[in-house]
Amino acid sequence: MKITIEQYNGPATDGKITAIKSMREVTGLGLKESKEIVDNIWAGSPTDMNINKDQIPKLVEKGFIIESNQDLFQSGINILVSLLNEKKFKAATQMMNVLTKL
């Protein structure tokens, strides 16, 4: 699934290294690929990438702000409900932001 990662909005104490580690953890990409993506995001350049749709809520939970280029509204609603049930309110808020852009 093709998505656009617009920015990283992790906790204030998080830096670029944390974002790279999070990207690697969720996507399974190598250090070089993860660093390139995070460097682009840090520079203010939205970055397109192909990922498994199951990885989207994990990226959102880690603080990445995503704009989807495909119709994800229904699956996004399911993810939102799941996040709310798990009391992950920050991630749920970020998912609502994603859904408003679909």
Coil, strand or helix at 62? helix
- The tokens for 32 are 């070089």
User: Phi and psi dihedrals of 82, rounded to 5?
Assistant: -60, -45
Residues 62-87, mean pLDDT to the nearest whole number: 76
Q: What is the pLDDT of residue 26?
A: 93
- The tokens for 40 are 């682009």
Q: What is the pLDDT of residue 5?
A: 86
| pLDDT tens, position by position, 4-57 | 888 887 766 678 899 999 999 999 999 999 999 999 988 988 888 888 878 888
Q: What one-character DSSP code corresponds to residue 63?
A: T
- 3: nearest Cα among 44, 37, 43: 37
Task: Return d(Cα 95, Cα 91) in angstroms, integer.
Answer: 6
Bridge partner residues of 49 (DSSP): 3
Q: What is the pTM of this model?
A: 0.65
